[in-house]
Amino acid sequence: MITDAQKQAIKKSWKLVVPIAETAADLFYKRLFELRPEYRRLFGDDMTSQKRKLIRMLAFIVKSLDWSDAQWKDVVSPEEDLLLVILALGRRHSELYKIPDESYDVVGEALLWTLDYGLGDAFTSEVRDAWAHVYTLLASAMKMAGSTAIDTGDPIKAREAAQQRGQEALVMQASEAGVDDEQLGLSGEAL
Ligand code: HEM
């Protein structure tokens, strides 16, 4: 969950990033490739278009923080639906670009570094925490969307692997949500 104070901190700092967005994108990739030179080859030659895509995607995510509770109930096209956009983005990262889950941490680090460098004094600890929180949520959703892909040609193994993942996810969800088997009248060990 993202608090109202965090939303305000993100929106306010994003307004300061917009006028320097292209420079910020340059800095971000420069920092990322300094931290992990081996990631350069994951990207195509045309970094200009990649930088623009990243800026547009971040702008879209920041904008969706403005949605009111009522707007979340509106029916929107899949391209405007934050959840679907993020799930599809996560899926492309894992299946098409073959991005390993571990790389999300260093990308988050490069993002925070860029904001720190670009915003200067405006990058307060409150702003930092808000971006770190939103990035973690985003990265978790993207990784989760990617992990639904099960890479095996054998249907029996695929089913077993899928069941295992489904089971793990359910156990985690149930404990997070405080859902209790006994209250549901479900007895026994098996899910
Ligand atoms: C919250 C995290 C991230 C966001 C918002 C994000 C955003 C994007 C966007 C908007 C694109 C454009 C293409 C598309 O929409 O599919 C893209 C492509 C790409 N991203 Fe990410 N990304 C994230 C994390 C990562 C991570 C962790 C890596 C690992 C190095 C990565 C590497 C790439 C690569 C290799 C491409 C394809 C570039 C190409 O086509 O040349 N991204 N990303």
DSSP 29-64: HHHHHHH-GGGGGGS-S-HHHHHHHHHHHHHHHHHH
What pTM was estimated for this model as a whole? 0.84
- Is 35 a pocket residue for ligand 1 (Cβ < 6 Å)? no
What phi and psi values does residue 101 have, to the nearest 5 degrees?
Answer: -55, -35
Residues 50 and 117 in one domain: yes
Residues 172 and 121 in one domain: no
CATH code, 83: 1.10.490.10
Residue 110 inside a domain? The answer is: yes
DSSP secondary structure of 116-178: HHHHGGG--HHHHHHHHHHHHHHHHHHHHHHTT----S-HHHHHHHHHHHHHHHHHHHHHHHT
Q: Which residue range(s) make up the domain with 166?
A: 156-181
- What string of pLDDT tens digits covers the 191 residues of the chain? 899 999 999 999 999 999 999 999 999 999 999 999 999 999 999 899 999 999 999 999 999 988 877 777 788 888 888 889 999 999 999 999 999 999 999 999 999 999 999 999 999 999 999 999 999 999 999 998 887 666 667 777 777 877 877 777 777 777 777 888 787 787 766 55
Residues 76 and 169 in one domain: no
Rg (the chain; Cα; Å):
19
- Amino acid identity at 171: V
Q: What residue owns the CA closest to ligand 1's atom 3?
A: 139
Residues 169 and 127 in one domain: no
Residues 162 and 72 in one domain: no
Residues 28 and 79 in one domain: yes
Nearest to 104 by CA among 128, 132, 63: 132
Report CA torsion sign: 49, 50, 51, 52.
Answer: positive
DSSP 74: S
Ligand 1 centroid – CA 99 distance (Å): 8
Count of domains forming the chain:
2
Ligand 1 centroid – CA 94 distance (Å): 10
Residues 141 and 112 in one domain: yes
Specify the ligand 1 atom closest to the Cα of 139. Answer: 1
Q: What residue owns the CA closest to ligand 1's atom 9?
A: 54
Ligand 1 centroid – CA 1 distance (Å): 23
- Is 42 a pocket residue for ligand 1 (Cβ < 6 Å)? yes
